[in-house]
Structure 1
């Protein structure tokens, strides 16, 4: 099942990237690299980035929203536990990226408050948001499904993804309260 999920994610990423490579800035990127996506993202401090700005870093990514009271807090704690187990001394090599599925309500102020509440300190932690279209595009790349079920509530997949320094998907963990050791191993392997 996991191999099938990885094949589907790779195929989706390839199709999305082929369609969005009009602004491709780096000719030596693998066609399946997440860094080929040209979307712009706003960080919790209000500054804008492209995913390509994260090239050269191992990325551990999860899609959440700040008003979630069920799965997102658990996913966030999983991300924090992954960071603790990875225990990497050089935060320049990796980023833990939270991606808002509710860009309308997850303002930079709410994202900052969320990072503070969960004590996600240091520049290795990013919380980003973009347009609905860009968010859906990235969700498709991550094989993450979500649906708004009320003005402030979403039903969504619970997937943590790990990408290599070249932006290639190397691992996914689906579910909450699931052993994170394989995810930790994937991150450590990519940091070598």
Structure 2
């Protein structure tokens, strides 16, 4: 092997290593979801004041909960898999809020299928999990632009599955004062403790 070839291989190796370092957040994230979690943990991400329509048909904004941390999950009511699990998880987390003394966290489920998920369908989803409006809001983006903003600002992956549903992120998003502060796995056993401590 010539010296020129060896130098070329070494440079290519350095370039690949640098790209991997950048794409994996310093070799700490090897999936897109993990990468999002690491990036948000490094630096909070600003989000706009999303205009949403809740299960009662009222319009709300993130700033309506300016004195609370929002724990935001994304769902669609026709989903037979992860959205069922997320609903059950929010039911458990709501119980944590009920027995605790902290009112610093509010649960928010946002539909990624606003054309289908009308307020009555959102209400049926919430009632299925004994959702109480005082601690858990189920809503949809007020219009297509808001949905686009949500996807862009959070880095949420929403992929139509060709069967009327979507493949999408299962992660939970901690938002306060117009900033995305943390992204958690919905199965994280520390969620109850985090909620008790105000996020």
Over the residues paired in the alignment, what is the CA RMSD in angstroms? 2.7
CA drift at 1:7? 5.4
Q: Does 1:85 align with 2:77?
A: no
Aligned equivalent of 1:160: 172
Distance across 2 between alignment mates of 1:39 and 1:133: 10
When residues 59 and 172 of structure 1 are mapped into structure 2, their CA distance, relative to the original with a 3 A threshold, is: same
TM-score by length of 2: 0.71
When residues 147 and 80 of structure 1 are mapped into structure 2, their CA distance, relative to the original with a 3 A threshold, is: same
Distance across 2 between alignment mates of 1:129 and 1:83: 20
Aligned equivalent of 1:183: 191
Q: Are the equivalent residues in 2 in contact too, given 1:57–1:95 (CA < 8 A)?
A: yes
Distance across 2 between alignment mates of 1:160 and 1:103: 19
Q: Does 1:121 align with 2:127?
A: no
Q: Are the equivalent residues in 2 in contact too, given 1:41–1:129 (CA < 8 A)?
A: yes
Query: Runs ≥4 in structure 1, deviation > 6 angstroms?
Result: 10-13
- Output one character per residue of 1:111-160: Cα deviation in whole Å (capped at 9) or x when no partner: 01111111112321111112222123213333321112236211111111
Q: Does 1:71 align with 2:102?
A: no
- Output one character per residue of 1:71-124: Cα deviation in whole Å (capped at 9) or x when no partner: 100012122222323433465x33110000000000001001111111112321
1:42-121 pair list within 5 angstroms: 42-86=53-97, 87-89=99-101, 91=103, 93-121=104-132
TM-score by length of 1: 0.73
Q: Are the equivalent residues in 1 in contact too, given 2:57–2:119 (CA < 8 A)?
A: yes
Aligned equivalent of 1:17: none
Question: Any unmatched runs of 5+ in structure 2?
Answer: 1-28
Distance across 2 between alignment mates of 1:111 and 1:101: 12
When residues 51 and 108 of structure 1 are mapped into structure 2, their CA distance, relative to the original with a 3 A threshold, is: same
Distance across 2 between alignment mates of 1:181 and 1:167: 26
- Output one character per residue of 1:20-42: Cα deviation in whole Å (capped at 9) or x when no partner: xxxxxxxxxxxx3x4xx143211
Question: Any unmatched runs of 5+ in structure 1?
Answer: 15-31
Q: Mean alpha-carbon deviation: is it higher for 127-136 or for 68-77?
A: 127-136
